[in-house]
Structure 1
Amino acid sequence: MPNRLASEQSPYLLQHADNPVDWYPWGDEALEKARREDKPILLSIGYSACHWCHVMAHDCFEDAEVGAVMNRLFVNIKVDREERPDLDQIYQTAHQLLAQRGGGWPLTVFLTPDQTPFFAGTYFPKTARYQLPGFPELMENVAHAWHARRGEVLAQNDAVRAALAQSQSQPAASASTPLTAAPLEQGVRDLAQAFDPVWGGFSRAPKFPRPGELFFLLRRAQGGDAKAREMALFTLRKMASGGVVDQLGGGFCRYSVDEEWAIPHFEKMLYDNGPLLHLYADAWALRGETLFRETAEGIVAWLLREMRAPEGGFYSALDADSEGHEGKFYVWSREEVKSLLTPDEYAVAAPFYGFDAPPNFENTSWNPLRARPLEEIAAALGLFPTDAEARVAAARRKLFAARESRIRPGRDDKQLTSWNALMIGGLAHAGRVMARPEWVAEAHAAIDFLRRNLWRDGRLRATFKRGEARLNAYLDDYAFLVDALLETMQAAYREADMAWAQELADALLAHFEDREAGGFFFTSHDHEALLTRPKPGYDNATPSGNGVAAFALQRLGHLLGETRYLDASARCLRLFLPQVVQQPIAHPTLLAVLDEALRPPRVIVLRGPDTPVQEWAANLAPRLGARDMLLALPNGEGAPGALAKPEAPQPTAWICSGTACQPPITELAAVLA
């Protein structure tokens, strides 16, 4: 019989609907049952594309014996971390406190009936292995501690609650901490110290793309910092050449398990591909390298082919596994490759993709990567470069077509507001920078989907599936969407987008801002009361909601001359400034806020007849830097606040930096100068 998860929308929860576990979704029914029966809660948090979540499900949750122990001893709650990032933040922090090491997924936490965690771990097998206890044995021990050593557990709970409260608190904002460029300079030095000069990136294995740090470096590069430029472009080249990107179908996997970017954890997530698209467009604009252009085009091709929903918007993720094996959809045997290609094609494709080297995946298969430069292969074979390119292109088409006939990884088809916003921003930015108006049109279509389906009575919803929008939205949903709208308005201005950006910004201030201390809570003021109420400032796998909110509000304030937005951004920056000074590189998004607080962005507004205004915008686009915002407002398009420039019979530019504006300019050459 299906359990209570059968009526949920989350693909991850539905994966567990037929378990022999009496699962509950998070909610009053489960929490009240725990209180009424004086039972501890077994909280399991994961997501649909998570490989080790699947492993634990097969090991434990699908096993009738394990399920019987769970049902006897606990109230069992299953949570999709993508639907409930509020719960995931709280209990990942609790895991860090209790286990004294980083967490991950699946996250396994045992709670007292009042939601306080008293034991935490991640993956557990059914029987002891990997130096981990067997899950049934662990559960018996945890339940025994709850019943036989209740006093110790409750005493620990007081300490855990105090520690969680402390971990979520920020030092009081201090007007005496000066706003200087020192954290920006220190951030580059810190990254230079961590930089891998052989493979790029800023850590040993496993290696994550970490777009925030690369955004920061490219901003510094545009300001003339040669070291920042070198680190960013080198890392982006190495990533794009590795197996962490799908060399046949486009799009990045979540991370590489090795330091060479060769073998990924094969799940593909929407949230990092949007920012990576933005980065590769900027890298292409800086250097014009074919690799950067092809990587950006590959992300968009994957997105539109596999992730676009019929209703509009984009799905969340692709699984790492197919047919029960991680990576099976993506890897190859040498014999299969040879059977699909002509000898001439194989002669070029094998050294290019690394099929002529020893197997790089589990000692049996090959995950394609760019193993050698094509020019080098062409020279060794006595080919013209164009002939080598043609052979590789033909090989890629054949391999991709053959791969399409395989059993595909599962797809998480819920549509998350925040992750859609990250992709919308990447699409719009790349479309503008790379002159691809069709990408901007896709960004507009996704915005229209969100506004039509997830905006109700002045409030956002967090997730959409099967025609239904659900769950009170979080800080990230509002902040990322305002930021995405600012990107799309620079790519192609629409009056409705500016109106919505203002409504979202006003809702952000009304429902999330801490007016006394500054900054923004992750959950709204009327959200369900949880164990703690985080106000995170550091960047994680996704950028900091506080950082993006402060950045977007600051920019919107400069565009419109709206001091409410500027003041809220300044309060947020002031709150987190001591942390930014102490650990600059943990806060790359707030570093961008600091950068533009020190030197406000330059705003360029174009007004006039549609066609010549768009021609001016196209001419200006290659000259724009990270601190520039250009909005092309054809006659007839309305604009609020400081953007309300008079209609003009010929293209006219208004240029302002902070509070200093130049006289209107009617000659393109003068604007370019």
Structure 2
Amino acid sequence: MTDVKTNHLAGETSPYLLQHADNPVDWHPWGEEALALARNQDKPILLSIGYSACHWCHVMAHESFEDPGVAQVMNELFVNIKVDREERPDLDKIYQVAHSLLTQRNGGWPLTMFLTPEECIPFFGGTYFPKQPRFGLPGFTELLQRVADFYRERKDAIATQNQDLMRAMQAIAAPQRVESAELSLLPLDVARRQLEEQYDAARGGFGQAPKFPHPGSLERLLRHWDRSRRQGNPDTRALEMLTHTLERMALGGINDQIGGGFCRYSTDDDWMIPHFEKMLYDNGPLLALYSQLHAATGEPLFARTAHSTAEWVMREMQSPEGGYYSSLDADSEGEEGRFYVWTPDEAQAALSAEEYAAFAPRYGLERAANFEGRWYPHVFARIDTIAADLNIDTAEVERRLDSARDKLFTLREQRVRPGRDDKILTAWNALMIRGMAIAARQLQRPDYADSAEQALEFIRNTLWQDGRLLATCKDGRAHLNAYLDDHVYLIDAILELLQVRWNSADMQFALELTEVVLRHFQADDGGFYFTADDHEALIQRPKPVHDDSQPAGNGVAAHVLVRLGHLLAEPRYLDAAEATLRALWLPMEQNAFACTRLIDALEEFLDPGEAVILRGETEAVQDWQMDCAAACAPRRLCLAIPNDAADLPEALAEKIPREGTIAYICTGTRCSPPISRREELREALA
């Protein structure tokens, strides 16, 4: 038996990079060794960026990177660098922007960019390239030869193009500051109008297929409705857009009807057939939204969806050490979606006749196959319709469906599972900690808070080293400097978890993270860079403004700084938040719908929400906190601090305990007289 020859990726922590470690391509991880090799040999760099759960990344790998002939051309003409976009979002952000500027098209994964060896500036690029010419694209081997020839023969033209590209990228990295900007709440109404313009009234969501969840846009509608309700003029249309979208998603195939958890996006307008990968960063915000919307509406579907999502996370995505894993692949046994699909015969064999009679119409097994000759569960029929057709009551239909799903889940567990990317990313863990904390509070599920605490403890013990945060960990090996998102998402998550259970050490951790953000990420002209001041120098230092699949770091930074500034009476935090809002006012004016987290921060800066501080004996103060948690109040921060809590920040320590339980309600810099009766607190909160 011969040893498999590995390239330079064999020592990496990324499962995606390790998938390529035995390619015949002489892959290098990004680093000085590979960059120096390119400079010394005057070879252009072929930069390939992808991630473990990416279907087309797997396709390109099987077609080209595993082919010895293609690999030989790559090795002769280029220094080949493979990057996991989840571990190195700094590189991905930069080269996705460059791709868009060079090609005038949206990017994606796999991202394939060709860089000059001296400056690492891209001069050509694309996404997926087939091995043989098709889809209107050249064959990859032919493309490689043409790019290498162009690099050797047209260096002057490349140099000129690089200058133009760098000017454009610098302009994007540093949005124009409007010195005379007067902050106002106008972007709230602009975002609300823009979201309705993009809203799909028939099917929910925004735009056309492929349809993504866009949790930031949905949370903006929730906050807009909550604000209008408090002002006595509820925006029922905003609530309708939100509830309709989350209902259609919950009943659609984008939500795994058998095992819980949301897939990345829907390939059709009806949310029926997803791209089957499941990402941690989608499910955390969606868990929070479904929990909040259940609190707002009382709709059981939203609670059931939140529960199935949280249970999937704890069952399949939480490591024994506490941290949450990153993603599940779309593919198993070489086929996309194979793990998740059925035939009517399989379902019939597994279920009783009564169960199948309810399950088949509910999930479309009586209809034509909806996914490559097989059936993927998507809700087609209403419960009351099935009950009428079968002449039974709706409770019996629900019982049969629950039993059928349990049986099919057990059967599905015996199949070959999709691959799991088991690295633990700080930013994505923070999004899930936040989701679990909100779900624990709104759904009264202490076990969700336990899960969130375990993940936070893992981060503090493993990824927080010598006063600095690290971005990723696998098999106990933590490395890579953390980014802005890692820090501010984690602060946001801690603030939500503190609203479930007070922990002075958690608050101290949040404040230490905040100081790191202010010291190492803050820009002189306002706002925050994506990378720290001691990070590796790259061709661009982005200042993220617009939300994409995850919220923009500047929006979350401004939001947590506003909340902490008001809560702790800390002017430095409020000043930094204001400087961020002023620096990024122009993007908020121009593209309000794409800056939802910045707008959340703007709203709370100009019109602060409530901070409720409860003091008392542990059991009593937690009972009072349930009154805060019962309602959907996204602009409220409620902390139940036991009398014996130590090491409190000064502003919280000043909220002194008294006999019995007491509540302090503050709005911005104003606090009401202390409240000592629970009924009076309920009235104040209402």
- Tell me which interval the TM-score lies in, with the shorter structure as reference length: over 0.9
Offset from partner CA, 1:543-595 (integer Å, 9 cap, x none) = 00010011011101111111111111111111111110111101000110111
Deviation at residue 243 of structure 1 after TM alignment = 0.0
State the secondary structure of the residue aligned to 2:125.
Answer: strand
State the secondary structure of the residue aligned to 2:611.
Answer: strand
Residues 516-595 of structure 1 correspond to what in structure 2 (within 5 A)?
516-595=524-603
Match of 2:231 in 1: none
Residue identity matched to 1:477:
D
Distance in 1, matches of 2:576 and 2:172, equals 23
Match among 603, 611, 617 for residue 609 of structure 1 = 617
Distance in 2, matches of 1:260 and 1:251, equals 18
Match of 1:29 in 2: 33
Preserved CA contact (<8 Å) 1:246 1:252? yes
Residue identity matched to 1:122:
T
Deviation at residue 173 of structure 1 after TM alignment = 4.0
Distance in 1, matches of 2:632 and 2:325, equals 32
Deviation at residue 443 of structure 1 after TM alignment = 0.9
Preserved CA contact (<8 Å) 1:562 1:641? no
Match among 168, 191, 213 for residue 163 of structure 1 = 168
Preserved CA contact (<8 Å) 1:521 1:534? yes
1:663 pairs with 2:668: no
Deviation at residue 178 of structure 1 after TM alignment = 2.1
1:317 pairs with 2:322: no
Residue identity matched to 1:355:
L
Match among 77, 87, 100 for residue 96 of structure 1 = 100
Count the aligned residue pairs.
Answer: 670
Match of 1:379 in 2: 388
Offset from partner CA, 1:256-294 (integer Å, 9 cap, x none) = 011110000000000110000000001101111111011
Match of 1:141 in 2: 146
Match of 2:662 in 1: 652
1:357 pairs with 2:362: no
RMSD: 0.9
Residues 380-459 of structure 1 correspond to what in structure 2 (within 5 A)?
380-459=389-468
Offset from partner CA, 1:389-444 (integer Å, 9 cap, x none) = 11111110111111000000000000000000000000001100111111111111
Distance in 2, matches of 1:536 and 1:394, equals 47
Deviation at residue 59 of structure 1 after TM alignment = 0.4
Residues 613-624 of structure 1 correspond to what in structure 2 (within 5 A)?
613-623=621-631
Deviation at residue 624 of structure 1 after TM alignment = 5.4
State the secondary structure of the residue aligned to 1:6.
Answer: coil
Distance in 2, matches of 1:533 and 1:470, equals 20
Distance in 2, matches of 1:448 and 1:93, equals 35
Q: TM-score, normalised by structure 2?
A: 0.97
Deviation at residue 153 of structure 1 after TM alignment = 1.4
Preserved CA contact (<8 Å) 2:249 2:255? yes
Residue identity matched to 1:336:
E
Offset from partner CA, 1:509-566 (integer Å, 9 cap, x none) = 001001x210000000000000110001110100000100110111011111111111
Residues 183-582 of structure 1 correspond to what in structure 2 (within 5 A)?
183-223=187-227, 224-362=234-372, 364-514=373-523, 516-582=524-590
Distance in 2, matches of 1:70 and 1:238, equals 46
**Unmatched segments (≥5 aa) in structure 2:** 228-233
Offset from partner CA, 1:281-338 (integer Å, 9 cap, x none) = 0110111111101110011111011101111110000000000000000011121111
Sort the Cα spacing of 1:627 and 1:95 in 2 relative to 1 into closer, same or farther, 3 A: same
Preserved CA contact (<8 Å) 2:471 2:478? yes
Preserved CA contact (<8 Å) 1:600 1:657? yes
4+ residue segments displaced more than 6 Å: none
State the secondary structure of the residue aligned to 2:49.
Answer: strand
Preserved CA contact (<8 Å) 1:609 1:648? no
Preserved CA contact (<8 Å) 1:270 1:315? yes
Deviation at residue 177 of structure 1 after TM alignment = 1.9
Match among 105, 116, 127 for residue 109 of structure 2 = 105
1:51 pairs with 2:55: yes
Distance in 2, matches of 1:71 and 1:120, equals 18
1:672 pairs with 2:682: yes
- Bigger Cα displacement from structure 2, 375-384 vs 210-219: 375-384
**Unmatched segments (≥5 aa) in structure 1:** none
Preserved CA contact (<8 Å) 2:211 2:266? yes
Match of 1:642 in 2: 651
State the secondary structure of the residue aligned to 1:329.
Answer: helix
State the secondary structure of the residue aligned to 1:491.
Answer: coil
Percent identical across equivalent pairs?
Answer: 53
Distance in 2, matches of 1:620 and 1:602, equals 11
Preserved CA contact (<8 Å) 1:604 1:654? yes
Distance in 2, matches of 1:436 and 1:108, equals 45
- Bigger Cα displacement from structure 2, 573-582 vs 73-82: 573-582
